[in-house]
Chains A and B, each alone.
Chain A
Amino acid sequence: MSANGIGAPVRRKEDFRFITGQGQYTDDVVRPGETRAVFVRSPHAHAKIKSIDVSAARTMPGVIDVLTGAQLAGDKIGNLICGWMIHSKDGSPMKMSAHPALAAGKVNCVGDAVAVVIAESQAQGRDAAEKVKVDYEVLPAVVDPAKAQAKGAPQIHPDIPNNTIYQWHLGDQAAVKAAFDAASHVTTLDIINNRLVPNAMEPRAALAEYDAGTDNLTLWNTSQNPHVARLVISAFVGITPEHKLRVIAPDVGGGFGSKIFIYPEEVVCLWAARKVKRPVKWTADRSEAFLTDAHGRDHVTRAELALDASGKILALRAKTIANLGAYMSTFSSSVPTYLYATLLSGQYAIPSIYCEVDAVYTNTAPVDAYRGAGRPEATFVVERLIEVAARQMDLEPPELRRRNFIKNFPHQTPVIMAYDAGDYNASMKKAMEIADVKGFAKRKREAARNGKLRGLGYSTYIEACGIAPSQAVGSLGAGVGLWESAEVRVNPTGSVEILTGSHSHGQGHETTFAQLVSERLGIPFDSVSIVHGDTDKVQFGMGTYGSRSGAVGMSAIVKALDKIEAKAKKVAAFMMEAAEGDIEFKDGKFTVAGTDKSAAFGDVALNAYIAHKFTGAELEPGLKETSFYDPTNFTFPAGCHICELDIDIETGKVDIVNWTAVDDFGTVINPMIVEGQVHGGIAQGVGQALMEGAVYDQAGQLVTGSFMDYSMPHAHDLPSFHVGTTETKAPSNPLGMKGCGEAGAIASPAAVINAITDAIGSEDIAMPATANAVWSALQRAKAPKAA
């Protein structure tokens, strides 16, 4: 390992500009003649728009134009789409409602955009937006997914009865029923996976510019995948052909999934920029972010686990209602189906699994992928079931897990996934050592003396990451392929630019990708720069989500670097007048086998460009290669998290005193960055378990519409984590990487709730387990049971 190579804890290159306030975020980009877009949003969750009167707004100072949904439709701007087809049990395709970028005739959630003011300044735009008169006929709303399908529930989209998007299933229902009938023990849980607001530090923004001379449009936006945005906006929304649209996602301040999707505001800014012939910028304020960023989770599930008398799992069954909100966001359909039910086998050999998922519309913000996307929901189901089953059967929770761990690989689960490598007991064993599980009983007694209930909870999670083989996802309904691209440009001076389709918005690619290149080419770390996030520079890319940038994005770079080496060897052969087959490349040097001749990488690069040593007929000048890498399988990061916590008996307040995470991410490029990803993920998972939760009232108003009511985890809510790793290489990619971005958020909620329920001796607690909720659970557990 070199000082900056693979495995080195190199400090993040990008942090200098971020920490010194020199990042260039979308809102920092300023174009000449820039105007501001201010959206007029629905204050109602469900209403007919009887009329919109923009005449007063038009006369306000600084107003350039006021545009409505009728004009959008008149200009034949298409709907936003969900790009993943799901079929119901009966074979019928999912029912996707129209989703215009500005509401047409009806609003379906609070915050739905009905008009937009284009003004010289933000303040003038806001003043004018207040003068837009919208006459609403308010309709009854439904916000609870469990109530959306009921008879008499308000119908949100005219052509979609019972607000039901699809009724999907996976697995062998009959086999599962037979297993349950024969089981000696069945554990049943009712689970609500609470709705979360993503809350990236940088709010969403869009800046659109129209060049009347070339008829080209440019969009700067806060995107995790600018190429996909360009594809959808051109091919489906029909703003302009793909080659006439450039999308640039510059520095992006966090996404957690919420910036994967294509949103109405980007479409409207592009459309308006061409109309007013001036750049149009919109930056969400925090209130808009709460209302309009796609939320995460929101499942209602009944889950059951069947076991035989020895504790062997026979089958698992789950019925889930997933809330997709008022409209289907870009990838929403896939989250509660193929990213959820396919992980219900957890780390266990489970002979049969059956899962039914109903996806429903409600009068709430759209719901889509949020860090972990489906896999935290699956992990919560599986890890709560196994923990509760162990308690009910009087077995130690780790022991029940051990009895059911998958030990032989590859392992085909009954729910599509073929796990390729792992050692689940190794991570659990290591985690139990680090967490000093042996000393827990003693610590529990000590805590009791201080009025505290101490609990220990496990979560042995698995996720499918590196999302992944195009053929596989295509067969499951994805509208796109999920490969990644890379281009390696070697400059004549030997420095290297990597153009990647992976987008970095907090992950540190500028550092880790450079580490890979530095090691592979034997050139200084500082001679490598990473270019991403611009459709004019990078030919195509699928973007960053699903912990795929390492396993898929870096693999593409490896493939391109292989081609660079092959070409450079040809150049070196001409330079040193040797046979190509005799050229060896190591540590940044080309040598001729059996001689002392050598050439540095930089010399070879220069010779590739000056092309004095070979004719054009023999070899093309230049040193630049491209690769599109499509993996052969998902990757399967897995591990064990152990949460130890105290509960203040008097107040119900939970204090996490110890956290151990042992993850198997395969090859680790930069352990410091990986640790940071794990820390952040755990914080988000603890947030979900203890404090976060988006709450709508029955009228569809978002009660948790600001940080005064939406609780986020703070540093002081968390202990110092003990993070370790075990390693089995991922066989499906050349680096053996599995991905680490989502693990913490996937693993941790179950660990927290398992620890709380261990402490209070009752399973009767939902997320978020606020102090009030825990205190109430303690009161219920104390109360004499009603006869």
Chain B
Amino acid sequence: MYNFTFHRPTTVRQAAGLLARNPDGKLLAGGHSLLPVMKQRLAQPSALVDLSLVEGMTGVELKGRSVVIGAMTRHADVAKSDVLKEVMPGLAAVPGSVGDPQVRNRGTIGGSIANNDPNADYPAACLGLGATIITNKRRIAADDFFQGMYTTALEDGEIIVKVSFPIAKKAAYEKFKHPASGFALVGVFVSKRGSDIRVAVTGAGSEGVFRVPTFEEALKKRFTAKSIEGMTIPATGMNSDIHASPEYRAHLVSVLTKRALNKANA
């Protein structure tokens, strides 16, 4: 790790101010993505602005027909939230599938989304539910937020404060774990909220999380696995590495979508 200065603001405003004064600084949430790359000296922020003491950034709340999760809420706390398990267990399952207990006890939803790792789980849930990412400056629809591997709509100095998920009647996540990292080799989130049907895929695409319009269209008739029986997506644009071929990833998208649909309908 290289040297850096360390700041612990207590309000979002202070945090934003610190970022403005430290253009090479970075926000620190759970540190489970940022610190490993710093330890390997692949990232060299001049300052860390730790969000852990900032007020009002944690918790899972029911607000009308949405669930609102503070950006600093740890994966473990989202996973065990009674409110969430009651209204949308399919979403609670997403942080529950992340890493191991240590990671779940530190990692946060805000950090995960801001990082937009192409194999992360939360991006699938955000896109798969049509969530709104609320920052200190604006509200960004998930469809506009994720812009390719490790790239988001966030501007310099913009801080995610919370994420609002509309409650879908049917929602489920199906994850095929990466054999080494435990991230999603492929993960599929499906949901149905009235006529809004979404199938969002993480892990598979070389541009990060994406929706599958052909599946969504087919599911408009009936939201069941049967509706997409025999349907596939092309292997082009899928990731290719030593762990999985593009063909295999494309195949898993179909398989996992069907499994997620069965779960959502169960």
B226 CB contacts on chain A under 8 angstroms:
none
Judge whether B180 is part of the interface by a CB distance below 8 angstroms.
yes
A775 CB contacts on chain B under 8 angstroms:
248, 251
Assuming the A-B contacts A709-B180, A709-B181, are A123 and B248 also in contact, with contact meaning beta carbons closer than 8 angstroms in the complex?
Answer: no
Decide: B40 and A711 in contact? CB cutoff 8 A: no
Decide: A710 and B180 in contact? CB cutoff 8 A: yes
The CA of A708 and the CA of B103, in the complex, are separated in Å by 14
Decide: B242 and A704 in contact? CB cutoff 8 A: yes
| Chain A positions 642-665 with a Cβ under 8 Å from a chain B Cβ | 650-653
Q: What does DSSP make chain A's interface, helix, strand, loop or mixed? A: loop
Contact with A along B26-43 (1 / 0, CB 8 A): 000000000000001100
Decide: B242 and A709 in contact? CB cutoff 8 A: yes
Judge whether A92 is part of the interface by a CB distance below 8 angstroms.
no
Judge whether A771 is part of the interface by a CB distance below 8 angstroms.
yes
Assuming the A-B contacts A123-B1, A709-B181, A711-B180, are A772 and B245 also in contact, with contact meaning beta carbons closer than 8 angstroms in the complex?
Answer: yes
A123 CB contacts on chain B under 8 angstroms:
1
Judge whether B255 is part of the interface by a CB distance below 8 angstroms.
yes
Judge whether B168 is part of the interface by a CB distance below 8 angstroms.
no
Assuming the A-B contacts A703-B242, A772-B245, are A650 and B181 also in contact, with contact meaning beta carbons closer than 8 angstroms in the complex?
Answer: no
| Residue from B1, B41, B179, B244 whose CB has the most chain A CB atoms within 10 Å | B179
Assuming the A-B contacts A123-B1, A770-B243, are A651 and B252 also in contact, with contact meaning beta carbons closer than 8 angstroms in the complex?
Answer: yes
The CA of A319 and the CA of B245, in the complex, are separated in Å by 31
Contact with B along A168-208 (1 / 0, CB 8 A): 00000000000000000000000000000000000000000
Judge whether A287 is part of the interface by a CB distance below 8 angstroms.
yes
B243 to chain A, nearest CB (A): 7
Partner of A772, one of B40, B180, B243: B243
Chain B residue total in the interface (Cβ 8 A): 16
A191 to chain B, nearest CB (A): 20
Partner of A695, one of B1, B2, B242: B242
A703 CB contacts on chain B under 8 angstroms:
242
The CA of A704 and the CA of B179, in the complex, are separated in Å by 12
A651 CB contacts on chain B under 8 angstroms:
176, 252, 255
A127 CB contacts on chain B under 8 angstroms:
2
B102 to chain A, nearest CB (A): 13
The CA of A718 and the CA of B107, in the complex, are separated in Å by 27
B255 CB contacts on chain A under 8 angstroms:
650-651
| Chain A positions 699-723 with a Cβ under 8 Å from a chain B Cβ | 703-704, 707-712
Judge whether A613 is part of the interface by a CB distance below 8 angstroms.
no
Partner of B40, one of A130, A287, A770: A287
B242 CB contacts on chain A under 8 angstroms:
695, 703-704, 709
Partner of B179, one of A287, A650, A695, A771: A771
Judge whether A447 is part of the interface by a CB distance below 8 angstroms.
no
Judge whether A691 is part of the interface by a CB distance below 8 angstroms.
yes
B41 CB contacts on chain A under 8 angstroms:
126, 130
| Chain B positions 237-266 with a Cβ under 8 Å from a chain A Cβ | 242-245, 248, 251-252, 255
The CA of A123 and the CA of B39, in the complex, are separated in Å by 11
* Given A709-B181, A711-B179, A776-B248; 9 other pairs, CB 8 A cutoff: A126-B41, A651-B176, A651-B255, A653-B176, A708-B181, A712-B180, A772-B245, A775-B251, A776-B245
| Interchain Cβ contacts under 8 Å between A and B, 11 examples | A651-B252, A652-B248, A691-B179, A691-B180, A704-B180, A709-B243, A770-B179, A771-B179, A772-B244, A775-B248, A776-B245
